[in-house]
Amino acid sequence: MITNKENVFQLDTAHTTYILRIDETNHVRTEYFGPRLTVPENYNFSKEKWSFAHGSSVIYDKSHPALCLDNLSLEYSTLGKGDFREPSVIIEDEMSLGNDFIFSNFDISEGAPKLSGLPSPHTGGKTLVIHLTDLLAKVDLDLVYAVFEEDDVIARTTRLTNDGDGVIAVKKLMSMQMDILDQGFSLVNLYGGWASEAHVIDKTMGPGIYVNDSKTGSSSNRHNPFFMLKAKHTDLNRGNAYGFNLIYSGNHYEMVEVNTYGKVRVQMGINPFCFEWKLSPSEKFEAPWAILSFSNKGTNGVSLQMHDFINKHIIRGPWALKDRPILLNNWEATYMDFTESKLHDLMKRASDLGIELFVLDDGWFGKRTDDTKGLGDWIVNFKKLPHGLSKLAEIANKNGMKFGLWFEPEMVNENSDLYRTHPEWAICVPKQIPSLGRNQMVLDLGLLEVQDYIISSVSAILDSAHIEYVKWDMNRHMSDFYSQRYNQGEFFHRYILGLYRVFEVLTKKYPAILWESCSSGGNRNDLGMLCYMQQNWASDDTDAFERIQIQSGTAMAYPLSSIGAHLSASPSHQVLRKTPIDTRFNVAAFGNLGFELDLKKLSFVDTAAIRRGIDFYKEHRHLLQYGHFYQMKTMQEDGYAVWMVLSDDRKEGMFGYFQGLGKSNPSIDILQGINLIDIAVYRVTARHQETNLKTFGGLINMVSPVKVNEDGRLVDFISKHKTLEGLLKKSYDETYDAFGDAFNNGAIKLEPQWAGTGFDEHVRVMADFGSRMYYFKVK
């Protein structure tokens, strides 16, 4: 709801209030952002009160001698009028670098406006636009606020219009700025690199400037655009937290400045790094949408609101809010070394296990036998696949599965027909030798002819076979940036605009396809991509233990239904860690489950474990993809992680309990949930898991009737065919009954862990990296 009383605007969502004021100098101030307020007669309560200016400050104008912009809470800021914090708008024209934007009028309308060439939230919202103008420079600045009431989200953007007669250069235009009072904030953001994306960092801020940004050309695995400000004493489920994200896939910039007056400035938008956009008379420039969300229910509170908003207003097309298929991807099973018969064999085994989608990854096109060649040539390699893609899709379909395909259309290898024909399409600085990444160069998507080539070559393949899923990859950062056609300061943004045009055309042309974006894993996981691609491959690291951190971080910002998570081989190809099969399943089950290993190499017991897992996932898929996700314990802080999902009606849910290292003399483990119905009785049942005989090493002789060599071939053979439970012919699945309040208050005590002194069927053998899933439902 948006209300306006004289010079104040109040934006209300279900649980939050945002108050803006046009002040006596005609600037727009942030007055309040926090829990929903009931407002009295007037807004005097929230107004900053000043009688005298601070010493050594610059007074904005003579008629308001107590006001200096440096100590006001502002919704935008410029250079040159006494605000010495980071400006949100920098424009250069013939006269100066400084501007003074003052209020001219406002309007309120239904819906959120669509930006041109940039993705926007779909459906819903109510919008306030505050129009500002710089009378001297003849430039207009609009501050746009779209209120998504039910989701507790406010989306913001800004636009500049050149009303003058000369060209101006936009050097910085933030999508949003707000200044709030300090609450002892810490900055929580996601950092990482290849195979280690989305690690959570939480740092307490003092006076100074904190920047979270990307300069790689995409939103990057270095610093995701999502971040939170967490007030002092806020934890996972309690206290004030503010969340921010950007609907943009290129270089981004988030800045938090704590100043000397205890004000915290937050900005978010396109990175001003190497950015300069020329604006001719009557042209306008729009910044990408930023989204803001506040909760007083801790960091989980913000994540839940963001997830809902993303599921409802970002992800679109027929796959939005739909259950996603379980897939097998052949990458870690074969890499590029596959033949038709190997693929047929994988398909048969996948289908037998109940897998629903087969994805053929890199290596099916051009002369692609390794990563030095072929990228750019989107033509089937008939040497490898003599019967082509249509036959493969047919076989997948005959096996009851959909067929999906990998592309990396933004790239080119020097050793490719595309490069030989169009070397000028690859990004490089004239006369310089370009630096390669993974032996490849990036095509300049700022060029219309490159966009058209990608659209037509990808379309030709999609038209040639029954392809129902596409994995769209992008495997390197940008270097040697240079635009042959446009101003250099426009290079990065034009790339992203070009990319969005390609997506716009392809996703409209093939609306039924399920799209998964990937950039060497999560190197371009952002809300811009999710506007076109419903899923994202979270990381090339499929090691379950590492994935706990990666998926915990990713799920702070993005819903489980957008996270691709696969069970792979042990030892893991990325870290060589050995992890139990059930843990590999349990981690991958919190998201869009997939498999990425050679099914032929699975032992009998591992095949049975996977079959059990798939049946279980199918039974609870909706909960695991769309349930409300809470992190109850984190590996970083607690040494073990507990995840919980809860259904909309709070009548059923799932816990994932993930151990880090095994403990000596372990104490009692508890299950603590949140938001379960206090007075309802729930039954909790552990998902059935079995224990690998080899877990016990030499101790196996304590239960075996005959002495065996634990490292010998006999134990090896038996362990592939029988689990401990199978051998003992005894198994027990933990079951607990309790009222919801017992869960909410951490009163559920689990069966004991293995403690080195004895074993019966009640002992939970977790060891290193062990885990359990607990399903609960009202009885």
Q: Which one is catalytic: 12, 100, 142, 540?
A: 540
Alpha carbons 634 and 198: distance in angstroms, whole number: 14
For residue 537, the minimal CB distance to ligand GLA (Å) is: 6
Q: For residue 568, state whether it binds ligand GLA (rule: CB under 6 A).
A: no
Q: Which of 414, 734 has the CB closer to ligand GLA?
A: 414
Closest distance between ligand GLA and the C-beta of residue 276, in Å?
33
Is 541 known to be catalytic? no
Q: Of the two residues 518 and 531, which places its CB atom closer to ligand GLA in the complex?
A: 518
Q: Please, which residue, 255 or 442, has the CB nearer to ligand GLA?
A: 442
**Interface with ligand GLA includes 327 (CB under 6 A)?**
no
Tell me which residue of 519, 523, 537 sits closest to 594, measured CA to CA. Answer: 537
DSSP 44-104: GGGS---SSPPTT---S-TT-TT--GGGS-BSS--SSSS--S--SEEEE-SS-S----EEE
Return the residue of 77, 245, 475, 554 that touches ligand GLA, per CB under 6 A.
475
What dihedral angle (degrees, nearest 10) is formed by the CA atoms of 578, 583, 587, 592?
100
What track of x and - describes contact with ligand GLA for positions 540 through 559 (by CB under 6 A)?
A: x-------------------
The residue of the chain with the least Cβ separation from ligand GLA equals 362
Residue (193 or 281) nearer to ligand GLA, CB: 193
Q: Which stretch binds ligand GLA (CB under 6 A): 35-43, 318-326, 517-525, 619-627?
A: 517-525
Torsion of CA 100, 102, 108, 111, to 10 degrees: 0
- Least spacing, CB of residue 363 vs ligand GLA, in Å: 8
Choices 247-255, 454-462, 515-523, 717-725; region in contact with ligand GLA by CB under 6 A = 515-523
- Between CA 511 and CA 466 the distance in angstroms is 14
Give the span between the Cα atoms of 672 and 655, in whole angstroms: 9
Nearest Cα neighbor of 518 from 485, 469, 585 is 469
What is the smallest separation between the CB atom of 380 and ligand GLA, expressed in angstroms? 17
Q: Residue with structure tokens 């953001």?
A: 189
The answer to whether 562 and 530 are in contact (CB under 8 A) is yes
Neighbours of 437 (CB within 10 A): 16
Among 278, 285, 464, CA closest to 364 = 464
DSSP state letters, 184-236: S-EEEEEE--TT-TTEEEEEE--SEEEEEE--SSSS-SSEEEEEEEE-TT--S
In DSSP terms, 92 is beta-bridged to: 169
Task: Work out which of 331, 407, 495, 658 binds ligand GLA, going by CB under 6 A.
Answer: 331
Comparison of 331 and 492: residue with beta carbon closer to ligand GLA: 331
> C-beta of 331: minimal distance to ligand GLA in Å?
5
Nearer to ligand GLA, 33 or 406 (CB): 406
Using rule CB under 6 A, residue 473 touches ligand GLA: yes
CA distance 511 to 515: 10
- Please answer whether residues 727 and 649 qualify as being in contact, where contact means their C-beta atoms are separated by less than 8 angstroms: no
Pairing of β 469-472 and β 514-517: parallel
User: Cis peptide before 325, with omega less than 30 degrees from 0?
Assistant: no
Smallest distance, Å, CB 404 to ligand GLA? 12
373-to-244, 368, 657 alpha-carbon distances in Å: 40, 5, 44
Active-site entry in 151, 444, 473, 669: 473
Return the amino acid letter for 85.
R
Residue 321, token pair as written in the block:
């809010």
Residue 473 annotated as catalytic: yes
Q: Which is nearer to ligand GLA, 331 or 682 (CB)?
A: 331
- Supply the minimum distance, in Å, between the C-beta of residue 417 and ligand GLA: 19
- What is the total count of residues that contact ligand GLA (CB under 6 A)? 11
Q: Report how many helices (DSSP H) and strands (DSSP E) the chain contains, helices first.
A: 16, 38
Q: Tell whether residue 491 is a contact of ligand GLA (CB under 6 A).
A: no
Binding flags for ligand GLA, 391-430, as an x/- string (CB under 6 A)? ---------------x------------------------
> Alpha carbon of 343 to those of 246, 352, 598, 756: distances in Å?
40, 14, 10, 45
The least CB distance from residue 361 to ligand GLA, in Å, is: 5
Pairwise CA distance, residues 2 & 111, whole Å: 12
DSSP labels, 146-198 = EEETTTTEEEEEEEEEE-SSS-EEEEEEEEEEEEEE--S-EEEEEE--TT-TT
In the complex, what is the shortest distance from the CB of residue 17 to ligand GLA, in angstroms, rounded to a whole number? 42
To ligand GLA, the closest distance from the beta carbon of 68 in angstroms equals: 51
- Which residue, 34 or 564, has its beta carbon nearer to ligand GLA? 564
First-to-last alpha carbon distance for the chain, in angstroms, is 39
Among 250, 301, 409, 521, binds ligand GLA (CB under 6 A): 521
Q: Which stretch binds ligand GLA (CB under 6 A): 77-85, 269-277, 479-487, 513-521?
A: 513-521
- Report the residue number, 20 or 357, with the smaller CB distance to ligand GLA: 357
Contact code string over 343-382 relative to ligand GLA, x by CB under 6 A: ------------------xx--------------------
Binding residue (CB under 6 A) for ligand GLA from 162, 520, 692, 723? 520
Q: Based on CB atoms, which residue is closest to ligand GLA, 83 or 473?
A: 473
Q: Among the candidate windows 490-498, 518-526, 634-642, 713-721, which touches ligand GLA by CB under 6 A?
A: 518-526
Q: Which residues are catalytic?
A: 473, 540
Binding residues for ligand GLA, rule: CB under 6 A, are 331, 361-362, 406, 473, 475, 518, 520-521, 537, 540
